[in-house]
A and B are shown apart, each in its own frame.
Chain A
């Protein structure tokens, strides 16, 4: 429908698409990962280069009033499509009603908007990928040895859907190590707690191998430091979630997940790709605008990133 005008003239029509980001406040991390709103926004700007699209960016500031005002502004601008990234279901419902009234289609990111196709992280699936990697390692490398598993991070962070992630980890882990005991260490969003809480756990479990499922990369790096400081590096293996820039780098800024660091006890981290959302979401937006079918739910394809594939998945460009 919207694409027909362009088709009639033989010139591809340009669309104006609004993206209302959850928040771009510096330092605020999204979805229980190390990514910020700025990285999400930049991914849209970079992805848009390949499409006949002009973007209008809004920052919802994690604020209901701002989110509603942004949608109203987009209606006044007569944008062709609105991409909404906001947590509050009541606000999302109200925005859906307003946009429907203005005949503007909506795409939802991470949190449903009534009637709109949803693009979302799949925390259960991501957790399973991480849990399976840990379980595979434990059942192979430490076969016959006493192994315990630890889930560590902000385990109660419902808003970031960490409980789903943790449950996925347990399911994945148990698929390889059905009898493994799993201890939950909730840092309540304070990575500084990792040293104290994990240190205590290590002291209480001498002579055991420890499989650490970190809910995010910051926690994973902190956990590695604790194992190192305790002289227990050889007893630990860590899988993380997120794959933000704190854990992977380029050719020059060697970080934990790096081809030259294949011996690390950080086996890998499960990618959440918030820095690539634009590349996944804009094609869906264009499908919607062109009247093509769009699935009601599209999930991020979470993948374990290790030293063996990090440069394939995140090609460095700090060389020439």
Chain B
């Protein structure tokens, strides 16, 4: 009886193990990293000291332009996503102060999912089946709390040049802008595909040639709906303008570090092929280790670029380096 029980337990362990270890042949599903078989850093490998030094030349006036939204109650979140803070302020109660100097303090408990507000998609965020960047079979590297490969702690700096592509102006110049009535300022409507030609036209508009290690930020105007939270949250979340597959492939060929935009997925939604799911995420993150930056605030930098006829800036971004995260909300400034 006891032996049977033990045998059953052993069999159960083996059965569970075989399920846990079931995995795809990732060498057939995801390309290898150009930085070697052990690479968990991805495209931030491109941010070399030379790249950062060259980007520093963008700081000419010392003007800092905010490029992230404030994370607070009411901003658009998807589905069941949440972000909530709980304030601890007990020492403010009568008699709660400490010592003769009557020190008081407050702190926060932060209950939040990481992909909220202006945020970075890390390489542990998106895969094909169980295969993630650099052919890593992630099934072996996850537990209840975090990922043990491809976490944000492996990233290098994002201190590089930012390049704005003002898709609104590109579409206006081409006479093809179809705005959404909910936008207070001109915006591309949801479902509008931004092509490689549109990106190239946007670069030409500010006479920019992309360099290896750049971060490209696309202004679609859709972020105006985010700014109107909560009134336009449903419209904001219902779809978005964004880059299509050929734009993604062209940006990959330009060896950028990240692609950002002022909407929630960077890529066009609904997608170009209704049977593909977030395919640009796969192309950029899974296949190439290129990060995606969502809900970037682009209106101020777009105004600045239009005013000065300069579309480049020093990209200053802080990524909290908590271990094993698939992404995180970030603070971004464009410094000029």
Contact = CB atoms under 8 A, between A and B. Distances in A.
A84 B193 CA distance: 27
Given A315-B276, A320-B264, A49 B193 contact: yes
A319 B269 CA distance: 11
A317 B277 contact: yes
B14 interface: no
Contact of A50 (B115, B272, B277): B272
**Chain B interface: which size bin?**
20 to 34
A311 B191 CA distance: 20
A154 to B, nearest CB: 28
Given A49-B193, A250-B79, A318 B237 contact: yes
A15 interface: no
A308 B277 CA distance: 16
A136 B239 CA distance: 39
B23 to A, nearest CB: 19
Contact of A315 (B193, B265, B277): B277
Contacts of B78: 252, 318-320
B272 A319 contact: no
A49 B115 CA distance: 29
Contacts, number: 43
Contact of B265 (A250, A279, A320): A320
Interface range on chain A (Cβ under 8 Å from partner): 20 to 34
Contacts of B80: 252
Interface string A238-253: 0000000000001111
Q: Please classify the interface of chain A as helix (H, G, I), strand (E, B), loop, or mixed, using the class held by over half of its residues.
A: loop
A127 B277 CA distance: 29
A317 B191 contact: no
Interface in B186-222: 191, 193
Interface in A215-253: 250-253
Contact of A317 (B193, B270, B294): B270
A276 interface: yes
A225 B66 CA distance: 53
Contacts of A45: 191
A320 B326 CA distance: 12
A319 B191 contact: no
B79 A49 contact: no
A308 to B, nearest CB: 15
Given A279-B274, A320-B294, A46 B191 contact: yes
B278 interface: yes
A315 B193 CA distance: 18
Contacts of B239: 317
Contact of B275 (A46, A50, A313): A313
B271 interface: yes
Contacts of A46: 191, 270, 274
A110 to B, nearest CB: 20
Most chain A CB atoms below 10 A, which of B265, B274, B278, B294: B274
Interface in B286-331: 294
Nearest to A312: B275
A319 B274 contact: no
Contact of B79 (A314, A315, A319): A319
Contacts of B269: 317
Contacts of A318: 78-79, 237
Interface in B251-279: 264-265, 269-272, 274-278
Given A49-B191, A49-B193, A317 B271 contact: yes
B79 A251 contact: yes
Interface string B51-80: 000000000000000000000000000111
Interface in A294-320: 311-320
**Which one of B79, B264, B294 has the highest number of Cβ atoms from chain A below 10 Å of its Cβ?**
B79
B195 to A, nearest CB: 10
Nearest to A315: B277
B115 A315 contact: no
Residue from the set A313, A315, A320 with the largest chain B CB neighbour count within 10 Å: A320
A59 to B, nearest CB: 20
A276 B275 CA distance: 10
Contacts of B275: 312-313, 315
Nearest to A316: B277
A275 B193 CA distance: 19
A315 B270 CA distance: 10
Contacts of B294: 320
A138 B293 CA distance: 50
B74 to A, nearest CB: 17
Nearest to A313: B275
Contacts of A253: 79
Contacts of A250: 79
A106 B294 CA distance: 44
A320 B329 CA distance: 13
Contacts of A251: 79
A315 B279 CA distance: 11
A313 B265 CA distance: 20
Contacts of B278: 315, 317
A50 B245 CA distance: 11
Contacts of B191: 45-46, 49
Nearest to B281: A320
In this complex, the member of A251, A312, A314, A315 whose beta carbon has the largest number of chain B beta carbons within 10 angstroms is A315
A253 to B, nearest CB: 8
B276 to A, nearest CB: 7
Q: Which 6 A-B pairs have the closest CB atoms?
A: A252-B79, A315-B277, A320-B264, A318-B79, A49-B193, A320-B265
Interface of A: 45-46, 49-50, 250-253, 276, 279, 311-320
8 contacts: A46-B191, A49-B193, A279-B274, A315-B276, A317-B265, A317-B271, A320-B78, A320-B264
Given A50-B272, A318-B79, 13 more contacts: A252-B78, A252-B80, A253-B79, A279-B274, A312-B275, A315-B274, A315-B276, A315-B277, A316-B277, A317-B277, A318-B237, A319-B79, A320-B78
